[in-house]
Amino acid sequence: MRNIEEILKLVCEFLNEEKEVYVVVGGLAVLFYGVPRTTMDIDIIIPMDVGETRRFAEFLNENDFFADEEDIKTAFEEKSHATIEDKTSMVRLDIKGIYSENDRITLERRSKVSLADFAFFVASPEDTFANKLLFGSEQDVKDAEGIYVRQFDNLDMAYLEKRCKKLGVYEEFLTMKRRVERNINA
């Protein structure tokens, strides 16, 4: 049974070799920025042309995933996501394209990082934070708070505030910031 790190490495090395542009977002980005949490999926934004999905689906099927090329194509055409399950574990890949300006900005500001013995591209802490506030579930808000606390000295605050304003979550940012400051000073 493969673990999530092995699956991340397998998929990202393929994307890197194919020179595909991508960014890992979601729970794994949160984990990368030092926030302990459990996740069983790998969220990836890939601005893949519908015509490129065949090779990707073939790679996935050759490597023990349940991947249907038509499902992937349909997801890109309908601007949704494709969920691809690993046959050897409970880990899923959630693949989506660039469907909004927010997706485009997240992809453009990605960072190349290393984990153990491989490199991959992850969303910036600021974009991960702002997107978590945008999604707004209880877990998303906890994730944003954890990034804020653990990455505070590394965050581009001017960009973060601008991004939160643009996404309409600036009030949520200020509320979370006050809560964190109260907890630190308590």
Predicted TM-score of the model (pTM): 0.93
H/E run at residue 115: strand 111-115
How many structural domains does the chain have?
A: 2
Same domain, 24 and 101: yes
Whether residue 3 is found in the same domain as residue 73: yes
**Is residue 157's pLDDT more than 70?**
yes
As a whole number of angstroms, the distance between CA 117 and CA 173 comes to 35
End residue of a domain, out of 123, 153, 172: 123
State whether 146 and 171 are in the same domain. yes
Question: Which pLDDT belongs to residue 44?
Answer: 98
pLDDT tens for 65-86 read: 999 999 999 999 999 999 999 9
Distance CA 87, CA 9 (A): 16
Q: What percent of the chain has pLDDT over 90?
A: 85
Residues whose CB falls within 8 Å of the CB of residue 105, separated by 6 or more in sequence, listed in order = 127, 163
Region of 64 (left: φ > 0; alpha: ψ -120 to 50; beta: rest) is left
Domain shared by 54 and 117, yes or no: yes
- The CATH number of residue 1's host domain is 3.30.460.40
**Cα(first)–Cα(last) distance of the chain, in Å?**
44
Structural Rg of the chain based on CA atoms: 17
pLDDT confidence of residue 186: 63
| Same domain as 18, residue 106 | yes
Token representation of residue 89: 């574990």
Who has greater pLDDT, 1 or 15?
A: 15
Query: pLDDT tens across 93-125, in order?
Result: 999 999 999 999 999 999 999 888 899 999 999
Instruction: For residues 11 and 65, state if they share a domain.
Output: yes
The answer to whether residues 124 and 73 touch, using CB atoms and an 8 Å cutoff, is no
Q: Which residue has the tokens 């989506």?
A: 96
Q: Are residues 175 and 117 in the same domain?
A: no
**Domain range holding 159?**
125-186
My answer on whether 95 and 185 are in the same domain is no
For residue 184, the model assigns a pLDDT of 72
Euclidean distance between CA atoms 84 and 1, whole angstroms:
16
Domain boundary, last residue among 84, 104, 123: 123
Q: Which residues contact 157 (CB under 8 A, 6 or more apart)?
A: none
